[in-house]
Homo-oligomer: A and B are copies of this chain.
Amino acid sequence: MKLREFAQQLGLSPTTVSRALSGYPEVSEKTRKRVAEEASRLGYRPNINAVRLATGRAGAIGVVMGRSGEFHFSEFMGGLAERLGTEDIDILVSPIDDKDPKGEIQLYSRLAVSGRVDAVIVHSPEPNDERIALLHKLGMPFLVHGRSDIDVPHAWLDIDNEGAIRRATSHLIDLGHRRIAMINGRKGRTFSLHRDKGYRDALQARGIPFDPRLVAHGNFTDELGFRFARSFLEQTPRPTAFVAGSMMTALGIYRAARSMGLEIGREVSVIAHDDVFPYLTAENMVPSLSATRSSMRAAGARSADLVLQLLSGRPTEEVHELWPVELILRESTAPPPEDA
């Protein structure tokens, strides 16, 4: 049913009906109520594409999905979708080929120009992120999940990676560890840099020299966790503790330690970052995994909120949110063995 017919049945003009449904003040309460009732009775729904054309709004926000190791992606999306489910806003997913770094910037460009989204979310930014510069230049509203040092105003939601890793590392030092390895995320991403900084600062605060041979960067996969952990553990003296970037990395570290006959929580301590997944929990690992924790799903939900705020006019400079990260100690952390 079209607006025209519907309005006719009500004995009103299309204008009034439209205003009534959109909650404009120029229509009397009585009329509004009648319109709302009849609409649900007769099942009238405005044609979404006509609305979008007329308003110039796309009614969607864009999310760019990387190709590799994005297991936290569905959690973030879940949160996003959860929050947006009640609004009339869609989520538009675009894929990006990780291997072609040029392609990504083009993709954002297309996304912005195409008018299919009202805003986009940028993930895993870099300190000087081209995408942010581009979106700002194009005037497309966007929220950064993470942060950037770039000299361009941008709204962001980030977790306190630096503080989390500083605390985790400090805790390991408190326990007596001196050789602490760090398996971090992809080089060049802001969150990796922040984590690096937290790690270094914690060491420095206790006068422990930084050893580049104990730090590795890479995607959050079980395989890299294993390979890096393995190569670190083959050094002499070997590290007595690990700080790791993800649950998958932690799985790899557990595996590596086990493959070398080392007992986690006694000979090797591990703290990893946990994004909180329903299908793999730090608490259930054996031994249970000490973790810095922050819910990816919650971040997704909040991101949706913030984007909506941006779209309804809240100034970019106001939208900065830094979330604290919990440190949860479990069995995988303990003082180093006597002989280490």
Q: Which of A239-287 contact B (CB under 8 A)?
A: 248, 251-252, 255, 258-259, 277-281, 284-286
Taking CB atoms, residues of chain B closer than 8 Å to A68 are 278-279
| CB of A146, distance to nearest CB on chain B (Å) | 18
Assess the B82–A95 pair: CB atoms within 8 A.
yes
Q: Which of A137-169 contact B (CB under 8 A)?
A: none
Q: How far is the CA of A115 from the CA of B69 in the complex (A)?
A: 34
Given known A-B contacts A47-B115, A48-B115, A95-B81, A259 and B280 have beta carbons under 8 A apart:
no
Q: A255: nearest residue on chain B (CB-CB)? A: B286
Taking CB atoms, residues of chain B closer than 8 Å to A8 are none
Q: Is A219 an interface residue (CB 8 A)?
A: yes
Taking CB atoms, residues of chain B closer than 8 Å to A91 are 92-93
Q: Per-residue 0/1 for A54-74: is the Cβ within 8 Å of any B Cβ (1 yes, 0 no)?
A: 000010100001011111011
| CB of A92, distance to nearest CB on chain B (Å) | 5
Q: A224: nearest residue on chain B (CB-CB)? A: B279
Taking CB atoms, residues of chain B closer than 8 Å to A277 are 71
Assess the A65–B49 pair: CB atoms within 8 A.
no
Assess the A48–B116 pair: CB atoms within 8 A.
yes
Q: Is A223 an interface residue (CB 8 A)?
A: yes
Taking CB atoms, residues of chain B closer than 8 Å to A252 are 284
Assess the B279–A248 pair: CB atoms within 8 A.
yes
**From B69, B93, B251, contact of A93 by CB (8 A):** B93
Q: Per-residue 0/1 for A275-301: is the Cβ within 8 Å of any B Cβ (1 yes, 0 no)?
A: 001111100111000000000000000
| CB of A174, distance to nearest CB on chain B (Å) | 29
Q: Is A50 an interface residue (CB 8 A)?
A: yes
Taking CB atoms, residues of chain B closer than 8 Å to A58 are 48-49
Q: Is A222 an interface residue (CB 8 A)?
A: yes
Q: A76: nearest residue on chain B (CB-CB)? A: B74
Q: Per-residue 0/1 for A84-112: is the Cβ within 8 Å of any B Cβ (1 yes, 0 no)?
A: 11000011111100000000000000000
